Amino acid sequence: MKYYSLNNKSIVVDFKTATINGQAPDKGLYFPERIPQLNKQWFVDIENKSNEQIAFDVIQPYIGNCIPDNLLFEIVSETVNFPIPLQPITSSISSLELFHGPTLAFKDVGARFMSRCLGYFSKEKEQELLILVATSGDTGAAVANGFYNVPGVKVLILFPSGKVSSVQEKQLTTLGNNIHALEVEGSFDDCQALVKQAFFDKELNKKVFLTSANSINVARWLPQQFYYFFAYKQLAEKNNPPIIAVPSGNFGNICAGILAQQSGLPIQHFIAACNANDTVPEFLQTHQYTPKSTVATISNAMDVSDPSNFVRIQEIFQQNVDAIKSNMSSCSISDVATKATIKSVYQEHNYLLDPHGAVGYLALENYLKEHPQQKGIFLETAHPIKFYNVIEPIIQQTLSIQDSIKATINKPSLSKKIQPTYNNLLECIEGLM
């Protein structure tokens, strides 16, 4: 499998190079030259396939011969070695719980896969690898956990000051050792802009072996397909493909789901469930892509006004807006509605949503009101405990905090606060090398 730049299709590399580079030299995102197809027979006995085998079958065509098959199977086995259950909430709505991994968030899948791929690739390099990542919440924690103590790798995480939950902040700032965190006085988009600027600083890249762990990296993006297949595996009724609502910020997760659909996975329709940051919902209505200033919300991991991965969705559908709209709709859910949904679902169904899952739930519920014959799945992307300070006042109950989270909360933060200027970032990078 080869990957081309979305800015210039003549720039073509293999999976290894795309993973190490993060982005193409012309600042474009990498995209696979073809979307592998799974034939209908493969799905016939999917219930009898292990999650490890499903993940291997899905990802191997994207890797090619860059990683030996036996090692790739080990990598995917370590990536998905925790439960990803499909839990019914109502007769027509189920929750795909993606929070049973080590950092209690869906990004554990991509981060664990990527860390193991880069660990394999870095053995061939004498130069130490620096992973630079911007986070709006869970990415940083998952990347920190995935790369902690990996030999030959340092991680520098940028997060927006005051705009991640207290648990998220502790998860990404307390590990130390090869994990370093910068608290940026700005928004996630400011953090992401700084990271992108570093990647295209030619002088810096001569000195530092630099790559990204955001969902712009194919090794983070592509394995997110796995849990869509795991959801289908658990469906009792497979003759009516589901509607899937995905809480969407940087759009890597839903883009991976659409890629799975285009590979042959039976999914009827996607809903990109957004918070107040409504660039994509407005684009699908007006056909004008006009990012605004980022709005801070209680579903903070989705506080992205200019989602990087939306260009990949446009590429999948060859820039045809009508084709996108036939496969994916999008809506904006307010904080008021999110809080009301958390409260009502807990009271009526005894199921506790995190703020991101609540956005997905309500978007799906609203869609199914207009399509009552359909059934749907929403992605519960993080454990509610990560947002206890938001949720407890809503349900007027104290949540019990797991011992692992208590231990993390009580650790001292090791982050450094900086202004969102590139010179400040450069100083921090040079201090690590």
CATH number of the domain bearing residue 303: 3.40.50.1100
Q: What is the mean pLDDT of residues 110-138?
A: 84
CB of 156 closer than 8 Å to CB of 428: yes
pLDDT at 123 over 90: no
Tokens coding 186: 């700005």
How far apart, in whole angstroms, are the C-alpha atoms of residue 329 and residue 120? 39
Q: Is 290 within the bounds of a domain?
A: yes
Q: What is the mean pLDDT of the chain?
A: 93
How far apart, in whole angstroms, are the C-alpha atoms of residue 77 and residue 61? 17
Q: Is 32 within the bounds of a domain?
A: no
The pLDDT value given to residue 338: 98
Instruction: Count other C-beta atoms under 10 Å from residue 228's C-beta.
Output: 28
Q: What is the mean pLDDT of residues 17-34?
A: 92
Q: What is the mean pLDDT of residues 220-236?
A: 97
Return the H-helix or E-strand segment holding 271. strand 269-274
pLDDT tens, position by position, 273-308: 999 999 999 999 999 999 999 999 999 989 999 999
Q: Is 317 within the bounds of a domain?
A: yes
The pLDDT value given to residue 402: 77
Q: Is 43 within the bounds of a domain?
A: no
The pLDDT value given to residue 429: 93
Q: How confident is the model at residue 125 (pLDDT cuts 50, 70, 90)?
A: low
Full domain range(s) for residue 230: 83-104+221-395
Q: Which residue has the higher pLDDT, 403 or 289?
A: 289
Return the H-helix or E-strand segment holding 53. helix 51-63
Q: Is 374 within the bounds of a domain?
A: yes
Q: Is 226 within the bounds of a domain?
A: yes
- Max mean pLDDT range (13-22, 69-78, 151-160, 209-218): 69-78
The pLDDT value given to residue 11: 87
The pLDDT value given to residue 126: 65
Size of the chain, expressed as the number of residues it contains:
433
pLDDT tens, position by position, 416-430: 999 999 999 999 998
Return the H-helix or E-strand segment holding 55. helix 51-63
Q: Is 265 within the bounds of a domain?
A: yes
pLDDT at 137 over 80: no
pLDDT at 269 over 90: yes
pLDDT tens, position by position, 334-379: 999 999 999 999 999 999 999 999 999 999 999 999 999 999 999 9
Q: Is 77 within the bounds of a domain?
A: no
Q: How many CA atoms lie within 13 A of 124 on its CB side?
A: 9
| Count of domains observed in the chain | 1
Q: How confident is the model at residue 48 (pLDDT cuts 50, 70, 90)?
A: very high
